[in-house]
Structures are given as C-alpha cells and as structure tokens.
C-alpha cells in the first residue's frame, strides 16, 4: 500500500518515515505532523467529488493517512450536526451562534475521530496492543477502536474519572488502570508500560495521526457552511489536538483552493481557571507553557497540566489573531446548563466555550457582527453519576 503523505517534525522540520508505528521526532521530541502533496491532490480532487460519499470523516480520505485501497478502522465517526442557537446569539451579542455537536460521535466525544485515524494507521503498521493515558474520553474511544481492530487496549486514568467512562472502557474490553493523580501521572505509567510491553503509545501528540482525525472537524465545518468560514471558533482546550488539527485543516483547505485565501477563522482557546497553562502562557506572550501546579476542575477534559503541543496551540492563536481565556467551574457549569436548557446536552467542556464567548465579548475580542462556532466536545451523559 502506498501512502501519499510524509511526516514532518513540527519544530525542527526533520522528515520521518511513515512506515511502522511512528511516534515523536527522534531528534527533538516534538510532535510529527502529516504533510500531503496538496498541489497534486487539489488538481484531481474538488468539492463536487464529495457528492454521494458517506457522511463521515473518511469522506475526506484524499487528505487522510490511508492508502487508496485501504479500509479504515471506523465506527462511523464524524458527520456531526452544526446547530444554530438564535436566543444564545442574542444573549451573547453576536450575529450568529452555531454549535458543533461532537457528543454524537461513537463513544460520545470528538476523541472518536482521532482514535479512528490513529488505530487505522498503527494497526496497519503492526501494533500488537495500544496504551494511552486519558482524562476519560480518549480512553473510551481507544477501547472501542481497539476492539473494532481486534487489538488489546490498556488505559490509565485518574481515579476520579467519571464512573460512566470507566464502566464504558471495561465494557469494551479494555484493561483499565486507575491512578491516584492527574493525567500527567497516568502518562508516566502508560509510557513505562509501553516500553516494557511493546504496546503502541497513543498518547496525545505522541503519534502523528490523532491530529489527522481531529482536523476533519475543520473540513466538515467548512463543508456544512458551504465552504465559507466563520469569523471565530471557540474550543475547550486540554491537550490541544482539536485546535491544532483544525488550524491544520484550514491551511490545507486554503492550499487546495477550497476556501478563500487569507480568510481563516480566528481561533480562541477556553480553559478552566483551575488548570489554564495555555491561557497563562498566552497572557505572558510566551511561545510555550509552563506546567500548571495543582490542577483542579470539574471539566475532566480540561485538567491537563502540560500539553506536548503547547507551542502549536499558541502558534495557532497568534497566526489566527485569536486569544485565550480561563473561566471558573461555576461559569462553565452554568453555561452547560444554559445549553441544555436549549436542548443541547453539553458537557462541562462544551459549557466552557459558551462561558468563554461571554468573556471574549466583554473584552471585545469578539464583536457584534461576528459569526461564532462553539464546540461541544462530548456528551453530557458521560458525567452522570
């Protein structure tokens, strides 16, 4: 099978082989990112070619890490609705407010996109097992896609992970290990197990393909908007693959000629005030983020004290003209309830984006004429006790 992409280090730009199960750059330890021959792809692939394809993320397979004849390991991920909320737009004082409902993915979160791509590529590369640390949703997704591929999975999660997610992983056949600590502590255990067992480490940005699955949110959003882009995108950010992936998608779409050149959306990061390393780095004008000490928030997906791709997140904010803000747990839970009041079962992380929108409006980062997209990254039901 011939793969059309190459792998490039996001920091030193060293090129790495796509064979086997690539991880991070062996030279500098930074994440590897897939690069496609977009001039060649764009010459033969146009938006009209999407007609008749299934409404899932693999409809964009020309810019995905699969060979032409290869069947991805899929559970129908992607194709999530984009919903308009006029009353919430009026309350926030923006021209239009849309929410991308990622909670309707398999296993109930956007993590399904990344795990489908990562498991597809690693399984083809000979992975004999998968391991990941997770605040919850990534573990559920890996458990499902590992089962789909027939490959064993071990997950390490904080002991206070929502019980529904722990039960989900076990029901899907994963070996679940609970750790008294944060996701960073789980990461230490997962990497040690990977080194001892030969299992492939699917940790955030420690392999190159979860980003490729997440970037399809950007492709899909633009397609749903008729290949136009919104003015602003607000994303709840922990490890950052969602915002990194979408910013990559917009660059690719521009290179393909599918969106107007120089008209990408402004990207906005929302974090919890109890764990806001990216916000702190942004406010300091730094290019990387220091580890957050004493991380604590009800939004499990935002409790990430240190992100391997911190410099990529901050780069996306700078290049897009965006910004970052932290909201309290009280604010994000109130906003989550507000979304549920309008029929959207938003998780706490999704609620953070609505709370962040009000904060950005107050600071005039977002204006009254802006068309805004929020991302609800997971299903509220996962937080039920």
CA angle 209, 64, 212 (to 5 degrees): 35
Position 60 in a domain? no
For residue 363, the enclosing domain spans 82-109+209-383
Q: Are residues 230 and 104 in the same domain?
A: yes
Residue 312 located in a structural domain: yes
| pTM attached to this predicted model | 0.96
Residue 94 falls inside a structural domain: yes
pLDDT tens-place values along the chain, 385 residues long: 689 999 999 999 999 999 999 999 999 999 999 999 999 999 999 999 999 999 999 999 999 999 988 999 999 999 999 999 999 999 999 999 999 999 999 999 999 999 999 999 999 999 999 999 998 899 999 999 999 999 999 999 999 998 999 999 999 999 999 999 999 999 999 999 999 999 999 999 999 999 999 999 999 999 999 999 999 999 999 999 999 999 999 999 999 999 999 999 999 999 999 999 999 999 999 999 999 999 999 999 999 999 999 999 999 999 999 999 999 999 999 999 999 999 999 999 999 999 999 999 999 999 999 999 999 999 998 888 6
113 alpha carbon, distance to own chain's centre: 8
Shared domain check, 158 and 240: no
Q: Both 217 and 335 in a single domain?
A: yes
Burial readout 219-228 (b: 16 or more C-beta within 10 A, e: otherwise)? bbbbbbeeee
265 domain residue, yes or no: yes
In-domain check, residue 68: no
| Residue-level pLDDT at 1 | 64
Q: Is residue 70 part of a domain?
A: no
pLDDT at 351: 98
Quick one: 295 and 367 in the same domain?
A: yes
Same domain, 214 and 99: yes
Supply the pLDDT for residue 385: 65
Distance of CA 91 to the CA centre of its chain: 27
Q: How many CB atoms lie within 10 A of CB 130?
A: 26
Note whether 286 and 351 are same-domain residues: yes
* pLDDT given for residue 199 in this prediction: 98
What pairs with residue 156 in β-bridges? Answer: 133, 177
Choose the final residue of a domain: 201, 221, 253.
201
Please indicate, yes or no, if residue 74 is contained in any of the structural domains. Answer: no
Domains identified in the chain, total number: 3
Single out the residue in 168, 201, 234 at which a domain terminates. 201
216 and 286 share one domain? yes
Q: Are residues 224 and 104 in the same domain?
A: yes
pLDDT of residue 113: 99
pLDDT at position 136, please? 86
DSSP 103: G
In angstroms, the Cα distances linking 162 to 60, 198, 237 are 33, 29, 18
Q: Do residue 221 and residue 282 come from a single domain?
A: yes
Cβ partners under 8 Å of residue 284, min gap 6: none
Positive or negative, the CA dihedral 42, 48, 54, 56 is positive
Whole-number pLDDT of residue 76:
98
Residue 313 lies in a domain: yes
- Per the rule left: phi > 0, alpha: psi between -120 and 50, beta: everything else, 173 is left
Same domain, yes or no: 88 and 236? yes
Q: What is the CATH number of the domain that holds 173?
A: 3.40.50.1100
CA distance readout (Å), 198 to 9, 27, 54, 81: 23, 21, 35, 38
Which tokens go with 336? 């989550």
357 and 311 inside one domain: yes
Tokens of 354: 């609505």
Instruction: Report CA-CA distances (Å) from 207 to 31, 49, 114, 132, 255.
Output: 7, 30, 11, 11, 24
Identify whether residues 40 and 189 lie together within a single domain.
no
């Amino acid at each position: 099978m011939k793969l059309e992409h190459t792998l490039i280090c996001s920091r030193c730009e060293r090129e790495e082989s796509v064979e086997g199960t690539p991880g991070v750059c062996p030279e500098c330890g930074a994440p590897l990112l897939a690069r496609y021959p977009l001039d060649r792809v764009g010459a033969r692939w146009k938006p009209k070619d999407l007609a008749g394809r299934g409404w899932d993320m693999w409809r964009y397979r020309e810019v995905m890490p699969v060979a032409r004849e290869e069947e991805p390991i899929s559970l129908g991920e992607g194709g999530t609705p984009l919903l308009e909320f006029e009353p919430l737009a009026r309350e926030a004082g923006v021209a239009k407010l849309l929410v991308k409902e990622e909670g309707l993915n398999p296993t109930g979160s956007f993590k399904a996109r990344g795990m489908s791509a990562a498991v597809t590529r690693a399984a083809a590369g000979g992975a004999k097992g998968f391991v990941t640390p997770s605040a919850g949703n990534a573990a559920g997704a890996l458990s499902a896609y590992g089962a789909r591929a027939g490959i064993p999975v071990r997950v390490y999660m904080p002991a206070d992970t929502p019980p529904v997610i722990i039960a989900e992983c076990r029901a899907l056949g994963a070996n679940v290990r609970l750790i008294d600590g944060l996701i960073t502590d789980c990461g230490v255990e997962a990497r040690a197990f990977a080194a001892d067992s030969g299992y492939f480490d699917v940790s955030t940005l420690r392999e190159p393909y979860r980003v490729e699955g997440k970037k399809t949110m950007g492709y899909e959003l633009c397609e749903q908007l008729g290949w136009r882009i919104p003015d602003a995108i607000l994303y709840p950010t922990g490890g950052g693959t969602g915002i990194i992936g979408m910013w990559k998608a917009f660059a690719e779409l521009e290179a393909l000629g599918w969106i107007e050149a120089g008209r990408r959306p402004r990207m906005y990061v929302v974090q919890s005030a109890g764990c806001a390393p990216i916000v702190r780095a942004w406010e300091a004008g730094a290019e990387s983020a220091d580890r957050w000490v004493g991380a604590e928030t009800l939004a499990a997906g935002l409790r990430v004290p240190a992100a391997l791709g911190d410099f990529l997140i901050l780069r996306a904010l700078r290049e897009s003209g965006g910004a970052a803000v932290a909201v309290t747990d009280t604010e994000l839970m109130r906003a989550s309830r507000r979304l549920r009041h309008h029929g959207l079962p938003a998780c706490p992380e999704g609620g953070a984006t609505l709370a962040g929108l009000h904060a950005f409006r107050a600071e005039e980062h977002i204006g009254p004429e802006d068309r805004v997209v929020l991302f609800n990254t997971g299903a509220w039901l996962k937080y039920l006790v």
